[in-house]
Amino acid sequence: MTIETSESRPFEADVSRLLHMMVHSVYSDRDVFLRELISNAADACEKLRYEAIAAPELLGGDPRLTITISADPEAGTLTIADNGIGMSHDELIEALGTIARSGTRSFMDRIVGAEGKEGAQLIGQFGVGFYSAFMVASNVEVISRRVGSAEAWLWSSDGKGAFSVAPLSLDEAPARGTRVMLHLMDDAKSYAERWTLERIVKEQSGHVPVPITLVEKPGEEAKPLSDGAALWTKSKSDIAAQDYTDFYRSVAGQYDEPAATIHFRAEGRHEYTGLIFVPGARPFDVFDADRKGRIKLYVKRVFITDDAELLPRYLRFARGIVDSADLPLNVSREMIQDSPLLGAIRKGVTSRVISELVRLAEQDAEAFGKIWENFGAVIKEGLYEDFERREQLLGLARFKTTASGEGWRSLKDYVGALKENQTAIYYIAGDDAARIATSPHLEGFRARGIEVLLLADPVDSFWTSSGLDYEGKPFKSITQGAADLGLIPLLDAGAQPPAEASVEVQALVAAMKDVLGEEIADVRASDRLTDSAVCLVAAESGPDRQFARLLAASGRLGSAAKPILELNPKHAMIVGLAGNGDDAVRADVAHLLLDTARVLDGDRPSDAKAFSERLSRLIARSLG
Domain boundaries, the chain: 7-228, 232-370, 503-623
40 is in an annotated binding site: yes
Q: pLDDT tens digits for 447-457?
A: 999 999 999 99
Report the candidate in 127, 171, 180 with the shortest Cα–Cα distance to residue 150. Answer: 171
Residue 240 near residue 283, CB atoms below 8 Å: no
86 is in an annotated binding site: no
The CATH code for residues 503-623 is 1.20.120.790
> From CA 166, how far away is CA 345, in angstroms rounded?
46
Class of domain 7-228: alpha beta
**Radius of gyration from C-alpha coordinates of the chain:** 32
Q: pLDDT tens digits for 91-107?
A: 998 888 765 443 444 44
Tell me the angle at which helices 241-252 and 194-204 cross, rounded to the nearest 10 degrees: 90
301 is in an annotated binding site: no
| pLDDT at residue 2, as a whole number | 45
374 is in an annotated binding site: no
109 is in an annotated binding site: no
> From CA 331, how far away is CA 304, in angstroms rounded?
9
82 is in an annotated binding site: yes
SS3 state at 193: coil
185 is in an annotated binding site: no
Q: Which CATH architecture has domain 232-370?
A: 2-Layer Sandwich (3.30)
Calculate the dihedral angle through the C-alpha atoms of 180, 124, 159, 193, rounding to the nearest 10 degrees.
-50
127 is in an annotated binding site: yes
Query: Do the domains 7-228 and 503-623 sit in the same CATH topology, yes or no?
Result: no
Report the candidate in 325, 393, 403, 305 with the shortest Cα–Cα distance to residue 353. Answer: 393
14 is in an annotated binding site: no
Question: What's phi and psi for 490, nearest 5 deg?
Answer: -70, 150
| pLDDT at residue 127, as a whole number | 44
180 is in an annotated binding site: no
423 is in an annotated binding site: no
What's the pTM value of the predicted model, to 2 decimals? Answer: 0.72
CB half-sphere exposure, 69, CA atoms < 13 A: 29
Residue 217 near residue 125, CB atoms below 8 Å: no
Q: What is the mean pLDDT of the chain?
A: 86
Residue 450 near residue 500, CB atoms below 8 Å: no
Range in 302-306, 416-420, 432-436, 584-588 with the lowest mean pLDDT: 302-306
333 is in an annotated binding site: yes
Q: pLDDT tens digits for 244-296?
A: 998 898 888 788 899 999 999 999 888 999 999 999 998 888 887 677 888 98
Report the candidate in 95, 92, 102 with the shortest Cα–Cα distance to residue 125. Answer: 102
Report the candidate in 560, 573, 574 with the shortest Cα–Cα distance to residue 602. Answer: 560
